[in-house]
Amino acid sequence: MSFPIIEGTRFERFRLNELFDYNRYVVQEFFKDCGTAREVAELVIRTVQYPLYRGEPDDRHCLNAFHGRFCECITEDYWQTCSETVLFGWGDCEDSSVLTVGGMRLLGVSPRDVYTVFGLVRDSTGEVLGGHGWVYVRDPSFGTDKFVLVETTLDVPPSRYPEVGVTLDDLKRPYTFGSVVYEAEQLFNDEVYIELRPLITRKRSKRSSRRVHEAIERAWDIESKYMKALRRSLSYRIKRWLGLG
């Protein structure tokens, strides 16, 4: 399937595979000390921070050029390229997932063996908590010949990565990990696009973002970057003090 043309998540219309600009100098420098796919994943997990502003998800990106002759601002959900996430050092789930896949492709991982995934996170009852992005990858550095799930929004790398399956069909099915279910809707990289449901850009729900990351923390038993940043925010501490958190 050809790559979809996306509007509203960058300053220009673009094909989805254009996010993977891993041949840019800044990206190559960022991953220069990585020798394996696992090292790529763990560098992104340790390095890329989750953006919050006043205790709420922050994805505001503005471009002002030529003294206002061109001025655009995206406030809801901006999809960053690999090089932008490296440059900024900040990015949410789809940004860190795209960067992770870009780094793995830079190291030579086959496009048949690594995918950015856009989809849903559900709880154990089947209720949708919100949209999310993650990575499926198959590489010997993870100690298995199966695809594993890489959750790039964790604050520290896990000791092991859960095995999802062997075939592409395995990746298309919902995957239950602990108390959460990861349900893929699109799988893609710079060469492959697989659509299980039509790609629809959605406005980010602040409530659903928190619910997703609270559930991810419980399932992985590791603090998420989102929740770590939230707990450090002044607004969160004030709400907790008032009994509103």
- Average pLDDT value for residue range 71-88: 96
For residues 41-57, give the mean pLDDT.
Answer: 94
Sign of CA dihedral 31, 32, 36, 38: negative
Res. 234: pLDDT tops 80:
no
Q: pLDDT-derived band of residue 164, with 50, 70 and 90 as boundaries?
A: very high
Predicted pLDDT at 212: 96
Q: How confident is the model at residue 170 (pLDDT cuts 50, 70, 90)?
A: very high
Mean pLDDT within 214-222: 97
Question: What is the Cα–Cα distance from 68 to 60, expressed in whole angstroms?
Answer: 18
What is the value of pTM for the model shown?
0.94
Average pLDDT, the chain: 93
DSSP 11: S
pLDDT bracket for residue 232 (50, 70, 90): confident
Beta strand spans in the chain (E): 5-6, 14-15, 52-53, 56-57, 61-65, 70-74, 114-123, 128-137, 147-150, 163-165, 175-177, 180-188, 193-195
> Average pLDDT for residues 145-159, to the nearest whole number?
98
Per-residue pLDDT, 200: 82
Residue 152 backbone dihedrals phi, psi, to 5 degrees: -80, -5
Tell me what pLDDT residue 245 has: 58
Mean pLDDT of 138-163: 98
Question: According to the model, what pLDDT value does residue 203 have?
Answer: 57
> pLDDT grade, residue 157 (50/70/90)?
very high
Lowest-pLDDT range, 55-64, 105-114, 161-170?
55-64
Average pLDDT of span 126-150: 97
